[in-house]
Amino acid sequence: MDIFEKAYNYHAAEDVRKLGLYPYFRMNETAVDTTTIMNGRRTVMIGSNNYLGLTSHPEVKEAAIKAVEKYGTGCTGSRFLNGTIDLHVELEEKLARFMKKEAALVYTTGFTTNQGVLSTLVQKGDVVISDRTNHASILDGCRLAYGKLIKFRHNDMEDLERILVNLKDKEAGKLVIVDGVFSMEGDVADLKHIMPLAEKYGARVMVDEAHGLGVLGKYGRGACEELGVLDKADIVMGTFSKAFASVGGFIATEARVIDFLKHNSRAFIFQAAPPPAAVASALKALEILQREPERLVKLRQNVSYMLKEIKAYGFRTWPTESAIIPIIIGEDLKTFQFSKMLEEEGVYVNPVVSPAVAPGWACIRTSYTATHKREELDFALEKLKKVGTALGIIGPNAPGAPVETVPVPMSTGARKKALPRTFPLLPKDKDKDKGENLQKTFLKLPWAIYRQDKNWVPPMITELETLFDKEENIFYEHGEAQAFLAKRGSEVVGRIVAAIDHRANKNHGEEAGFFGFFEVDRDYGAAESLLHTAREWLTERGMKVMRGPMAFSQLDGMGCLVEGFDFPPAIMMPYNPEYYPEFYDTYGLQKVQDLYAYQLDAKSAIPKRLEKLAEHTHQKEGVEIRRLRMSRFRRDMATIMEILNDINSEELGFTPLTKRDLKYFSAKLKPVIEPDLVNFVEVQGKAVAFSMLLPDYNEVLKRFNGHVGVTDMLKFYLYSKKIKTVRFTMLGVKKAYRRRGLETLLYLKSFQNAKELGYSSGELSWVPEGNKAITKAIESNGGKRYKVYRVYELKI
């Protein structure tokens, strides 16, 4: 393969260029100050990191000019050899005093400062523990290090402590690293709790003050000074490319550590020294910061004013505490539109999209300086409001508007009031207080969420109605549930169900509830509101754990798809957008279990060893195989229930099945079962194992948009005869008969049957990740894992 192939296949940037929305590499025609000239017009700059407004300060420019006159334009080598000049040493000494540390070391760039320090200090056997949203330079430095990298959830002290407690090697060297100010979110690290946790578990702490230096703290030393923990920070890193009006970076820590880095850090030893002009500029900026503390005051006043006004307009922001105010847009394309329209209005901002932020969290990153004039800020506010309104970012239905969660009454006899065949996009909910209208809106929401997703398969409307009908779904005999809709203004933006299976809790001796039927726009605010509402509903009823996503039974779907979005779901399998896992992670839900789906080729040759093993098992005395007989369907289903109750007693969420369950699930399965794809193994005339394959009716259902009327029955029948795939749904062997080869016998017989009936491929699901014997057997016999579903939980 040509190594350039990946470049030839890359088209994301070109796609945006074709739309006329490409926002990168915009050219400044003057110095970047509070304003700049772009495309020949004066543009208000609210997208630079020139926090103290020093890049155009006369003294800073003069210092750079004098340095060039004295030392030339470069140092012609690395600091380690011939590249050190007296300005380097002077800057390091002054930075050490300013940061109240023993010594400092200057690197050529801020990016390579983090790379150089982390890759040198974190060696084999050590552990570096990083906030998930740390800057790319930190993450790259961690990857270059030979030690182990572990990430904790953003500013989540419980997660950080969990990691520290569970480290297997208690004697390993440990370094916790965080941004003092997070560069996209603008919030500050929870250093008041990080420091004591690190001390408790014997870890060192490194704080990247790139966006805190010259912004926070009484004297501008950063977040550590702001929070009163500067003396507790083992290593402080800073850059010159923000408040210090230059380029470069530094580290401040103990003198012995600095000496070690000087002689071992490859990014320091083998990189050309910072040029004289850059060093002189940073020196002068440090001098001005110490001489003119009023710049800090003015910067904070400007930021406070903008944050207040931006929130008043209804824009969503992160809980920023710095000079950075991100405005959350949500969609990548709309973020590009926002940026382009603002530029045309004379305001520069930075669009930030995934992977720099999580999917659904694209934002406009605005930042401010001490030298912004009020009229410049007011001009920017006017344009922000104009563009935000035009794009629907602000207003009663905008993403920043409050989310209301509305309970939906569970129906009784819903099937008598069938939903219409066609599903328009969601209405404006004119009849706000009508329970029946809420029920219909709840049921048809997926048609709006997935309207542009080619892989989604619309569920059968009658099936949906049954699930939420208290008279028809037996779940309500031993459980309780509540559905909710999320609304922003008049728009419905999401749904969720919170439920408790009291029978399952009694069986497993726990107090657990679950959430399911979760559907939401690419809108984390709505997702958070829905999850929080479900959590509160469960908490009020005494539950201690919330799991999900789950439906009322495994036949109705369980788990969130986290891998395999390029394929449609097989029959009775869930499906969801790619951004759901990120929403769950952000909310704090943690993985309980992964479930695998394997792709199988029904026409491929069966390995000879499998055939021999199956033949040997079949020849054993008393072992017989028979297929399901529709004439005794209820009795065969009772046999399946008996086997499932024997083998699944400890499975996640499993509840022993009763005669009522038998009747209910038999009715659900009978329309889709192909009797020649269901096999039983009998030993001395007693059924001890079974397997079930189902034709993948999703191939057909996709054509009917969830409704098969009387006039459609012939079409449905004809399409059904053309189904080419199956789903290996269940395989069960009673505990007393395991490890006798019955699993292999059923596996082989199932695919022999599928091949005879003309099916070409299939899916085998679910397979728990912990079942290594089964996963290994499937993979060694040609099965390809192509989907992963995840079940989450949260202690409440």
Q: How far is CA 319 from CA 90, 118, 224, in A?
A: 38, 29, 18
∠ CA(192), CA(243), CA(59), 5° rounding? 145
- Amino acid at position 517, single letter: F
Residue 727 backbone dihedrals phi, psi, to 5 degrees: -120, 125
Compute the distance between CA of residue 521 and CA of residue 86 in angstroms, rounded to an integer. Answer: 58
What is the Cα–Cα distance from 212 to 178, expressed in whole angstroms?
Answer: 12
Rounded-to-integer distance, Cα 504 and Cα 161, Å: 32
Is residue 354 annotated as part of the catalytic site, yes or no?
Answer: no
Q: How far apart are CA 507 and CA 510, in angstroms?
A: 8
DSSP label of 785: E
| Angle separating helix axes 276-291 and 294-313, nearest 10 degrees | 90
Amino acid 550 reads M
Q: Residue 180 and residue 190: Cα distance in Å, rounded? A: 9
Task: Enter the DSSP assignment of 432.
Answer: T
Q: Which of 290, 283, 370, 288 is nearest to 64 (CA)?
A: 283
∠ CA(784), CA(788), CA(790), 5° rounding? Answer: 160
Question: Letter for the amino acid at 287?
Answer: E
Contacts of residues 224-233 at CB distance under 8 Å and 24 or more positions apart, as own/partner, are 224/180, 224/191, 226/188, 227/188, 227/191, 227/192, 228/192, 229/191, 229/192, 229/195, 230/99, 230/100, 231/100, 232/191, 232/195, 232/199, 232/205, 233/191, 233/195, 233/205, 233/206, 233/207
SS3 615: helix
User: What is the separation of C-alpha 48 from the centre of its chain, rounded to a whole number of angstroms?
Assistant: 28
Which one of the listed residues 137, 183, 246, 367 is annotated catalytic?
183
Q: Are 288 and 140 in contact (CB under 8 A)?
A: no
Whether 242 is a known active-site residue: answer: yes
Instruction: Select from 127, 125, 124 the least CA-distant residue to 164.
Output: 127
Residues 6 or more apart whose CB falls under 8 angstroms from that of 110 comprise 137, 210, 237, 238, 239, 240, 241, 247, 248, 249
Residue pair 674/694 in contact by the 8 Å Cβ criterion: yes
Give the residue from 439, 445, 504, 510 showing the smallest Cα distance to 468: 439
- Residue owning tokens 């006798």: 740
Measuring CA to CA, which residue among 485, 477, 474, 541 is closest to residue 514?
541
**Rg for the chain, CA atoms, rounded:** 31
* DSSP 8-state code for residue 275: P
Question: Catalytic pick from 135, 211, 383, 440?
Answer: 211
**Other CB atoms closer than 10 Å to residue 699's CB: what's the count?**
18
**Residue 107 carries which side chain, given as an amino acid letter?**
Y
3-state secondary structure of 767: strand
Query: Is there a catalytic annotation at residue 183?
Result: yes
Can you tell me the distance from the alpha carbon of 281 to that of 245, in angstroms, rounded to the nearest whole number?
A: 7
Contact 207, 191 (CB under 8 A): yes
Residue-level length of the chain = 796
Please tell me which residue in 57, 101, 135, 242 is annotated as part of the active site.
242
- Sheet with 148-152: strands ordered across: 103-107, 249-253, 235-239, 204-208, 174-179, 127-131, 148-152
- Whether a cis peptide bond, with omega within 30° of 0, leads into 355 is yes
Among all residues, which ones are annotated catalytic?
183, 211, 242
